[in-house]
Chains A and B, each alone.
Chain A
Amino acid sequence: MLKFVIRRVLQMGLALFMLSLLLFAWLRALPGGPVSALLGERGSPEAAADLRAQLGLDQPLPVQYVRFVQRALEGDFGISTGVFRGQPALDIFLTRLPATIELSIFALAIALTLAIPLGYISARRRGGVLDTGLVISSLVGVAVPVFFLAFVLKYLFAVRWGLLPPSGYQTAGIDATRVTGFAVLDGILTREWDASWDAFRHLLLPAIALSSIPFAVIFRITRASVLDVMDEDYVRTARAKGLRAPVIRVRHIMRNALIPVVTIIGLQVGALLAGAVLTEKVFAFPGIGQALALGFETRDYPVLQVLIMMAAIIYIVVNLLVDIAYALIDPRVRTK
């Protein structure tokens, strides 16, 4: 097991190194070159000369790369040139991260609590009306652009029926105490129930929109995987032994059927991060997704640089953790 973990961590290190090379190349490919891209149109000639020296643009490429990594390790990614003008790019990421984590966890929770039971029921009633309906809706779920779904939800539930707030993270008037930066959790910790409830209402629509693709993917994997496992000999044996149905369902079917689902959850983190860019933009939800969307619109390269890098790192680390979890559940993986 330890060997497996070490090997995966080494692989992750290699992936991070290649990622840094890609990002370095990306910065050099920016329109107008890295200096004008990173400073924006308002950069003074002195600032440009300063940055050029910092980046070491007159030095050979390997030296430039080392400087780039040094700056990244020191957390120096430059100053925002777009909507957040004047703020250090790394701060924008750090202050906005909790909102996106909270949103993603809610979205994933919605997707999992619906997709796994429905996937199981669908597989057990294969070919029935419910199964057909669910399979079709999961196919449609993938075909609908996430931001369009977000707009429709916002239009119906917020604009038309006024049931939920149309945008934002928490109502401005609410005096909420910040403990962790997670709005719903803070309300619970400080017993400010109204603040927590308010934040929850703001989260609901974006989380539903964001959960659509993970739901569809997890549902289909669960269904296919339950179908596979149901035909296995050990399930028949369990039944022949006269075990009760709930025991077979939990210990024999679900325990084995959920193994592929675990891997797919790690991959869904990628869909959540990209989906957050679109969903947070629609709901003006102040997370890293909205910052990325604003960054792309205003070509705010310092902000884009740090957000893309962090998103990729989060994705790589989460998938490492998922792989390790996978090896814990399924011993066969370790020896491969």
Chain B
Amino acid sequence: MTSYGDTKKARIDSLAEAGALSDEEGVSLWRSAWLRLRRDPVFLIGATIITAFVLLAIIAPWLAPHDPAARLLIGEVSRQSNPVPEPRPGFPLGADDRGRDLLSRLIVGSRQTLIVGVLATVGGLIGGLTLGILAGGIGGSVDAVVMRVVDVMLSIPSLLLAFSLAAILEPSQWSVIAAIAIIQVPIFARLLRGSMLSQRHSDHVLAARALGVRRVPIVFRHMLPNAIGPVIVQATLVLAVAIIDAAALSFLGLGNPDDTRPEWGQMLGAAQPYFNSYPHLAFYPAICIVTVALGFTLMGESLREALDPKSRR
């Protein structure tokens, strides 16, 4: 005979089972995320775009038909009558206003674009993780001080902060990377702190503390690995933002003035005087930026859904 108490217990048991992180038995969060991602068309499209982009960036110098810095058609460029040489055999997209092959610049530009995006994101990650670990791992007054600083940085519109930072630095590839990296620091810090705080009172951390594990191993071995998920999602999304923001900096004249090693955002910024008469100069780098930014965004969004147990429907 089933008593009232039994049904109540069964209900709690089933609730506890539903609350477990993965649907599949004995499968870790990351493993189950991967199983879901493998079948997710959104992730696959994003991953395909990004794989192609990274491959292109690696083999770019061998793939480009011409030297991207060589002013091959400079003889035809004339300020008044013909500022931008037209497409022709050997130059399928034509040349820019300095007679350099546009196709080669786009191909080689993938490399610099990837470098700017990755370094800015890594820079932001390093700063953000350090602050986040300090705040979330130590807590107390350290947490209070770090978070106040982070909140003030977040209280300035981020792109505006990037413009202001770039304005005090000598314009170069590094000033662009630094400006974009710094505006990501408070976002990563806040994110990691939040997700570490939720770890702090969880059973496995309490258990480790009860066993006498020291603070540093608890933070790095028990809290960080479980708190890093949202940070990875955010980093994927930041890769897209970094590439778009680099273009905005170039557009305002705060980008890298050295254009011998082209970057898509820089090419887009440099194309602005010709937009009404030669829109293709801006159009090609813009399409490249949008495609790659979309690729990172699709990957980030599908990763977010796969790692969030709540979104599993």
Contact = CB atoms under 8 A, between A and B. Distances in A.
A145 B167 contact: no
Contacts of B297: 139, 142-143
B155 A19 contact: yes
A155 B155 contact: no
A331 interface: no
Interface string B290-310: 100110011001000000000
Among B160, B163, B275, B297: residue with most chain A CB under 10 A: B160
The SS class assigned to the B binding surface is: helix
Contacts of B275: 151, 154-155
A281 B273 CA distance: 12
Interface stretch (B86-94, B97-105, B211-219, B245-253): B245-253
Contacts of B159: 270-271, 274-275, 277
Contacts of B170: 31
B148 A147 contact: no
A29 interface: yes
Contact of A155 (B151, B157, B164, B276): B276
| Secondary structure type dominating chain A contacts | helix
Interface in B141-159: 148-149, 151-152, 155-159
Interface centre among B157, B276, B289 (most CB of A within 10 A): B157
Interface string A268-300: 011101110110010000000000110011010
Contact of B157 (A143, A271, A278): A271
Interface residues of A, number: 44
Contacts of A26: 164, 168
Given A147-B251, A151-B282, A278-B251, A315 B152 contact: no
A30 B170 CA distance: 10
Interface string A226-259: 0000000000000000000000000000000000
Interface centre among B253, B275, B282 (most CB of A within 10 A): B275
B286 interface: yes
A18 B149 contact: yes
A14 interface: yes
A78 B148 CA distance: 30
Interface string A292-333: 110011010000100010011001100100000000000000
B244 interface: yes
Q: Which of A29, A31, A296, A316 gathers most chain B CB within 10 Å?
A: A296
Interface string B152-183: 10011111100110011010000000000000
Interface in A85-130: none
B268 interface: yes
A213 to B, nearest CB: 10
Given A151-B282, A155-B275, A278-B251, A273 B167 contact: no
Contacts of B268: 145, 148
Contact of B160 (A31, A270, A281): A270
A66 interface: no
7 contacts: A18-B149, A139-B301, A143-B294, A270-B157, A275-B159, A297-B253, A315-B157
Top 10 nearest A-B pairs (CB, nearest first) are A270-B157, A274-B159, A143-B293, A18-B152, A143-B294, A148-B286, A312-B156, A297-B253, A145-B247, A29-B168
Interface of A: 11, 14-15, 18-19, 22, 26, 29-31, 139-140, 142-148, 151, 154-155, 159, 269-271, 273-275, 277-278, 281, 292-293, 296-297, 299, 304, 308, 311-312, 315-316, 319
